[in-house]
Amino acid sequence: MSTFKINSTIASFGGKLLKLSHKSSSTTTDMALNLYLPHSATTSKPAPLLFYLAGLTCTGDNGAEKGNLIPHASRLGIALVFPDTSPRGDDVPDDKDSYDFGCGAGFYIDASMEPYNKHYKMSSYITSELPEALSSQFKELDTSRMSITGHSMGGHGALTLFLKNAGLYKSVSAFAPISNPSNCDWGRKAFKGYFGEEEKSKWAEHDATELLKNHKGDDFKVLIDVGTGDNFYKQGQLLPENFEKAAEEQGYKGVQVRMQDGYDHSYFFVSSFAKDHVEWAAKALGV
């Protein structure tokens, strides 16, 4: 298991934001991330974790620096993990003419199509390798208590990783998630490239709406916020209504989709509702 290099330490809201990098066995590349440790986190009283998955074109810096999650996590004693959105490097295949496929657009899946299947293993990285590596090096973290959230492509990642990994996360929420990627341009392009055009069953395995249709459990709770002024919502890239319909058909009463009047897709939107999402996770994490 690789050791994290601490590239910088930044004091923030009584705790510290660490800029980390390490060699990933999942992606076989160097991976960068941000880790926020609240002042209350100690080896004798380790902090639970909230993972924040960012959207297209982003890195782990965006949510850490613009998402406004840190002050609320600090107050509640929650550590925050901000991973990158894809593998990167000279040997990593990329579509340099596209912002929505390749580097910066890993879609939190394990690709099966060549040449992407060697490095694009973001699902394995986020759900398995990264928590284990963090737990090994940072004893002030309690990885038995983890929640997950995300924005846009990261909201898709949060929803699907929660639904695909029963019991791994205590809660899930999402900001303007790509809720039904099999039926939007962003998702179809990504799934075609990473899985193949004919592998529709594989697409469904990474589509929150399709996963919810087959979800087994007494209940499913999620907090989702979407801005009515979000151009990507208006263009049919997010499709929260399809996710809501699947929840209704399954009889899940705990699915909250809040349409926020006038808000767009930016970090002004994310930062406005970060408090609600951190507190949503806090309840499930027992803090």
Q: Which one of 26, 147, 152, 173 is the catalytic residue?
A: 152
Task: Mark whether 276 is an active-site residue.
Answer: no
Active site residue 152: yes
In contact, 143 and 135? CB cutoff 8 Å = yes
Residue among 195, 192, 187, 205 nearest 100 (CA): 187
State the catalytic residue, choosing from 72, 119, 206, 265.
265
Q: Round to whole Å and give the CA distance between 153 and 204.
A: 16
Under a CB-based contact definition with an 8 Å cutoff, are residues 222 and 240 in contact?
Answer: no
Q: Is 179 a catalytic residue?
A: no
Phi, psi of 210 (to 5 degrees): -70, -40
Cis omega (within 30 of 0) on the bond before 46?
A: no
DSSP for 21-40, written as a single string: EEE-TTTSSEEEEEEEE-TT
What's the CA gap between 120 and 241, in Å, rounded?
29
Residue 262: exposure state from Cβ atoms within 10 A (0-12, 13-18, ≥19):
exposed
Active-site positions read: 152, 230, 265
